Amino acid sequence: MIILLMGVAASGKSTVGRALAERLGWKFVDGDDLHPETNVARMRDGHPLHDAEREPWLNKIAQKMDDLLAENDCAVVACSALKEAYRRRLLKPGVALVYLRVTPQDAEHRAISRRHAYMPPSLVASQFDTLEEPEKTLITVDASRPVAQIVNDIAALVETHEQR
């Protein structure tokens, strides 16, 4: 099983993803690590990505997820997956979507108070401009809550799902 943990920049995907993967004893894949250098440079310079620029990145994430599923590995994959079209590419049998919902104000505050290798706080608004909130998720989580509570909620659903 793969949990695809989605949300805008500064919603907590990496932090929650690592903690959730550790709690479940699963692998963690941070989609941020799979961006081509051209995308990283563009974002570092304060420019949001367009669909065509996201293509190679989404291809890498989809391939990584296919490899994990083929190996019967369980993993948490953190990826913004902002648009329905992106999610359609990534969601398949064995993949459950978890949405970390955060307000624009909380995301901006978090982005200002953290150090990210290439995502400046100025790009947070563009993430919300691009976001198409998902209708079907395993769970939609209020990402303003403490990480431990979020992890507990998601883990409880996953553990229940696995017992079926």
Answer whether 0.85 is exceeded by the pTM.
yes
Q: From its phi and psi, is residue 145 left (phi > 0), alpha (psi between -120 and 50) or beta?
A: beta
The residue type found at 30 is D
Q: Which of 114, 111, 87 is nearest to 99 (CA)?
A: 87
Q: Which of 94, 107, 124 is nearest to 3 (CA)?
A: 94
Q: Domains for the chain: give ranges and CATH numbers.
A: 2-163 (3.40.50.300)
Residue carrying structure tokens 């079209």: 85
What is the Cα gyration radius of the chain? 15
Per-residue pLDDT of 90-135, as tens digits, reads 999 999 999 999 999 999 888 877 765 555 677 788 999 999 999 9
Q: How far apart are CA 105 and CA 108, in angstroms?
A: 5
Is residue 75 within 8 A of residue 68, CB to CB? The reply is yes
Is 123 exposed, middle or buried, given 0-12, 13-18 or 19+ CB atoms closer than 10 A?
A: buried
- What pLDDT score was predicted for residue 112? 79
Is residue 87 within 8 A of residue 137, CB to CB? The reply is no
Q: How far apart are CA 89 and CA 84, in angstroms?
A: 9
Per-residue pLDDT of 18-63, as tens digits, reads 999 999 999 999 999 998 889 888 888 888 888 999 999 999 999 9
- The residues facing 95 across adjacent strands are 2
